[in-house]
Structure 1
Amino acid sequence: MNKPLLTYTTKRNILWLFISLIVIYLVFNLFTYLELSYLLEESIDTHLKHELEHISLAMDFYNDSLSIRNTDEFKETDLVEVTQSPFFLKVYNANGKLLFQSDNTKKITKYNVILPNDFQNNYAFKDFDLNGEELRVGFCKVTDNANKLLGIIELATFKSSSKSLANSLMLFNLTTFPFFVLMFIVISYFFVKSSFAPINRIIDLANEISASNISKRLTYEADDNDELGKLKTTLNNLFERLEFQINQIAHFSDNASHQLMTPLTSLKSEIEFLLKQNDFTQLHYESIKILHEQTERMIKIVRTMLILAKESDTCDCVKNIFNLSKLLEEVSKLYNQPHIKFKFGKNIFLRGREDYFLMVLQNLIENAIKYSAENEEILIECNIENQNVMLTVTDNGIGIPEQERGKIFERFYRVSTHENNSKGFGLGLSLVKNIVSKMNGQVTVEPNYPKGSKFIIKLPAVNFE
């Protein structure tokens, strides 16, 4: 089965990492924007404070009058004209009466800022909207030596230059946002894939370990103290325990099967001898016949267990060659019924044990008979295609549900729809797969529309040229 490009866990981790990067990016940019706005505002306040100090030194307050010491300070262009960075100046006495204003304040309308009540170290700052333009206004309290209030100086300038810089930064971030989104997706994908790469490597190595090569171990290089190293050690310890248990079970099955085969064979011989006698009543004869059938069934089960118990053994199948065409001819005589049809070519040879493959054919044909209605057609076909022997057993029986087709070759597994129709133990198809695999072949099952099943065996043909 092909691996998906992105598993659910990979997608979920990529999504979480992508969202995290986006959130960090947005929070960082918001913080940068706010911090930049604050620093620019601080810069304007510092500049205004500096100018207010110069202006306060250039004038004197006498009751409700104002005396200017240095008139040149008030003739600067920024105090006369509405330039790109002007200064709007107003001077008030202690009672809030306007004593002086710069020439440029007379050129704008609706410029009337309410004096603040709270000052810190004789200074105060506030924002003011002037016809859609934002002003930053600074205030300076002028006091005498006794800390008596003499007057208040008000100085304002546009915030447009500083605000433009902050807005330019925000515009740049919005413009480049799609690029960063794409970059974050790529970063998330490669980061997550690289993070899961060692785990996927361990999974691949673990998948290579099966009952037939249980002695293999994970050899992935990792520090024994980190998570991957601990995972490797845990899995290897698990495989050690599994290998021990599997060997114990195989050894027991092998010994038990051998021990059972001898008395069963003797029992079969004695029962066959009794069947040949003529001095039994019909009732006794039927009982002996049932014993014979059950003994045959037991022998078949034990033989199956013997073969399955040696699943991990080195197979000698490839050393033998047999004529499959002749074997099929003999099998067709065993199942000499009109609804069971055989179609096969001549001189088809296979590498393997003929007695083992006979069990394969018998299991597939008997399954087809068992799960088909009486006299429903069963077709056994065999031919050579592209240097491969293709053997199919097709029936028109009750079929196998799609969700269970991948499990029917497992040992002791029985299809849910078949449980009430059979007295089997779920070993037959496991035996079929075991023998076919040892012959370097493969067996699959497909639906036979509109009903039934089709078992397909593919094996390498023997060519004598």
Structure 2
Amino acid sequence: MVDVLKTNNTSLGNWMSKHFSFARKGKILPPASLKFQLTLGITIFSVLSLGGVTTWTSLRMQKLLVDSHKYKIQDMAKKFSHEVTVYSEMMSRDAAIKKVIQKPEFQEHLVWIRDNNGDIITQSIGFQKEIDPQTHGLLLEYTNMPLKPKVALISDRYWVACGGPFWVSNQRLGKLYLVTDITREYTIFLSIVYSLIPVTIFATVLLVVISALYIRKSLEPLQKMSQLTETISADDLSDYRLKLEQAPSEVSMLANTCNKMLDRLSESWEQQRQFVSNVSHELRTPLTIVQGYLQSTLRRGNNLTPPQREGLEVAANEAERTIRLLQDLLELARADHGNLHFQIESFEVNSLLSEVREMAQQFSQGRVRLEAIQGNIQVKADRNRLKQVLLNLIDNAIKYSEPEQPITLKVKAKNQKVYLSVCDKGQGIPLQHQSRIFERFYRVDEARTRAGGTGLGLSIVKTLVEGMGGRVTLLSKPGEGSIFTVILPAS
């Protein structure tokens, strides 16, 4: 029976490992998950309920078995006392006791009579012949104390004993004990109990498995909602809506509430983008005029004092910086509204890199170097937008590198892709910041603010590269520099 139980448990374990997603590939459900808590709760309830039923059934069966023999023994004790009383009228009391105890119905049991002093008056001899002296002695010791009907295991056999006062003609002579061998009945009872144990275990496991599968299926709409919400970004608020088919009413209500929240967020995000676009557009023109007047005053102001000239130069530089910021905001606003157009064409990247290097030399003091290019490499992109991307990356590398450190441009073609890299040996970017470096207005630390960055350059780079069907990657190590790589389709 034990071997069969082990085999069944092994098969069930394999079945569970095959059908449960949390058991596959080493995935363990976290204790805080709803699926884990529900499964654990059902498991505990199943074990307690089925185990309780099995235990109660076993105890009840044992009680019925003992009670049946108890009542039988009690009836026999009454019958024994009655017959002794009847025979006592015709013969001596001792002879009457011996005559009754030798009857066939009493020969099937072990019968003892003890007087009030505890000494044995008489005992049956028929059944006694079938047991060994040691067992007989143990049974005698077993009946030395007041008894309640119960089962005893003596010499690998099961016995039920019962005792009570022995009355004859309304006179108490001592105590009468009857012991019955119930080995056959109790063995059958134990076999039934032992068969209930694996059935209970199997039923518990089966109930847990079925419940876990049902819980998993019931929670699938929530998992689907979680997967859908993970893919929603700020730019996709107006496009994504949670649509669940055949979901419970509570989950459908939750999905509808999330959709309403997405509507409000989308409206708020659109208003924010529209506000940024309008403000950038309205401020760019007056600031351009202000910058023009400041530069004109600086060129013609021969009688300006040094403090006045310094103040005007600071104002002109800040005006120029603010205009660049507004221009970046307008670029992003156009991209958000889908108004950023690209003229995708095939062209030779060699000439573009040479042109970018010449343009960068004007603000880099000759620090930009172009690595030798092997052959003519054709790329499919917007030439002007790609030029803007590379200049932004070079400007970013210059700001966060030491003045004497070079900036290197590299290009290679591989697997129908063109890889354009801007390499510096600057301060580098810590790993915890690399995943957010392309977010708008994000800066690693205050050093970037002092360097004059607005936090929009890399965001614009990412927007332009993705608009041309490519992607941009970053490889950086603090203290060793950074490598920004633009990957575009080859022509």
Q: TM-score, normalised by structure 1?
A: 0.79
What amino acid maps onto 1:362 in structure 2?
L
What amino acid maps onto 1:384 in structure 2?
A
Which of 251, 256, 270 is the equivalent residue of 2:274? 251
For 2:272 and 2:474, the matched residues in 1 are separated by: 29
TM-fit CA distance, 1:365: 1.0
1:232 aligned onto 2:255: yes
Decide which moves more: 372-381 or 134-143. Answer: 134-143
Verify the 8 A CA contact 1:128 1:134 in the aligned structure 2.
yes
For 2:208 and 2:248, the matched residues in 1 are separated by: 33
What amino acid maps onto 2:220 in structure 1?
A
Q: What is aligned with 2:223?
A: 200
For 2:319 and 2:351, the matched residues in 1 are separated by: 28
What amino acid maps onto 1:67 in structure 2?
A
Decide which moves more: 306-315 or 336-345. Answer: 336-345
Corresponding residue SS for 1:335: helix
Decide which moves more: 261-270 or 402-411. Answer: 261-270
Which of 448, 454, 474 is the equivalent residue of 1:425? 454
TM-fit CA distance, 1:364: 1.3
What amino acid maps onto 1:90 in structure 2?
W
Corresponding residue SS for 2:480: coil
Cα deviation code 1:358-389 (max 9, x no counterpart): 33222211111111112212212223322222
For 1:4 and 1:410, the matched residues in 2 are separated by: 34
TM-fit CA distance, 1:312: 2.9
1:29 aligned onto 2:51: yes
Q: What is aligned with 2:431?
A: 402
For 2:418 and 2:204, the matched residues in 1 are separated by: 56
Verify the 8 A CA contact 2:73 2:162 in the aligned structure 1.
no
Q: What is aligned with 2:19?
A: none
Q: What is aligned with 1:83?
A: none
Structure with more of its chain in helix, by fraction: 2
Verify the 8 A CA contact 1:136 1:157 in the aligned structure 2.
yes
Q: What is aligned with 2:319?
A: 295
Cα deviation code 1:60-79 (max 9, x no counterpart): 23384363799798436xx6
1:332 aligned onto 2:357: yes
1:260 aligned onto 2:288: no
Q: What is aligned with 2:337?
A: 313
Q: What is aligned with 1:369?
A: 398
1:348 aligned onto 2:373: no
TM-fit CA distance, 1:408: 1.1
For 1:425 and 1:5, the matched residues in 2 are separated by: 43
TM-fit CA distance, 1:422: 2.8
TM-fit CA distance, 1:12: 7.9
Shift in alpha-carbon separation, 1:20–1:36, aligned structure 2, 3 A: same
TM-fit CA distance, 1:129: 5.6
Verify the 8 A CA contact 1:33 1:166 in the aligned structure 2.
no
Corresponding residue SS for 1:110: helix
For 1:183 and 1:333, the matched residues in 2 are separated by: 75
For 1:99 and 1:69, the matched residues in 2 are separated by: 7
For 1:13 and 1:65, the matched residues in 2 are separated by: 77
What amino acid maps onto 1:39 in structure 2?
M
Kindly report which structure 2 residues correspond to 1:28-427, keeping only aligned pairs within 5 A, or say none: 28-29=50-51, 32-33=54-55, 35-54=57-76, 56-57=78-79, 59-61=83-85, 62=88, 64-65=93-94, 67=96, 74-75=103-104, 87-92=109-114, 98-105=121-128, 107=131, 108-112=136-140, 113-114=142-143, 124-128=148-152, 130-131=154-155, 133-139=157-163, 149=172, 152-158=175-181, 160-161=183-184, 164=187, 168=191, 190-191=213-214, 193-215=216-238, 216-221=240-245, 225-226=249-250, 228-274=251-297, 276-277=299-300, 279=302, 283=306, 285-315=309-339, 317-321=341-345, 323=347, 324-336=349-361, 337-343=365-371, 346=376, 348-352=378-382, 354-416=383-445, 418-419=447-448, 421-427=450-456
TM-fit CA distance, 1:340: 1.8
TM-fit CA distance, 1:232: 1.1
Corresponding residue SS for 1:155: strand
What amino acid maps onto 1:194 in structure 2?
K
TM-fit CA distance, 1:445: 1.0
What amino acid maps onto 2:332 in structure 1?
L
Shift in alpha-carbon separation, 1:400–1:75, aligned structure 2, 3 A: same
Q: TM-score, normalised by structure 2?
A: 0.75
Q: What is aligned with 1:121?
A: none
Verify the 8 A CA contact 1:315 1:438 in the aligned structure 2.
no
TM-fit CA distance, 1:399: 0.9
TM-fit CA distance, 1:213: 2.4
Cα deviation code 1:181-216 (max 9, x no counterpart): 986885676455434321111122223432222223
Verify the 8 A CA contact 1:37 1:163 in the aligned structure 2.
no
TM-fit CA distance, 1:8: 2.8
For 1:16 and 1:160, the matched residues in 2 are separated by: 45
Q: What is aligned with 1:460?
A: 489
What amino acid maps onto 1:358 in structure 2?
K
Shift in alpha-carbon separation, 1:163–1:311, aligned structure 2, 3 A: farther
TM-fit CA distance, 1:246: 0.9
Verify the 8 A CA contact 2:98 2:122 in the aligned structure 1.
no
Q: What is aligned with 2:475?
A: 446
* Structure 2 unaligned residues grouped into runs of 5+: 1-24
TM-fit CA distance, 1:356: 3.8
Shift in alpha-carbon separation, 1:54–1:180, aligned structure 2, 3 A: closer
What amino acid maps onto 1:299 in structure 2?
I
What amino acid maps onto 1:110 in structure 2?
L
Corresponding residue SS for 1:368: helix
Corresponding residue SS for 2:302: coil
Q: CA RMSD in A?
A: 4.0
Shift in alpha-carbon separation, 1:75–1:451, aligned structure 2, 3 A: same
For 1:248 and 1:266, the matched residues in 2 are separated by: 28
TM-fit CA distance, 1:305: 0.6
For 2:139 and 2:67, the matched residues in 1 are separated by: 19
Q: What is aligned with 2:13?
A: none
Decide which moves more: 296-305 or 356-365. Answer: 356-365
TM-fit CA distance, 1:437: 2.0
Shift in alpha-carbon separation, 1:199–1:53, aligned structure 2, 3 A: same
TM-fit CA distance, 1:239: 0.9
Shift in alpha-carbon separation, 1:30–1:114, aligned structure 2, 3 A: same
TM-fit CA distance, 1:6: 4.5
* Structure 1 unaligned residues grouped into runs of 5+: 81-85, 119-123
Corresponding residue SS for 2:425: coil
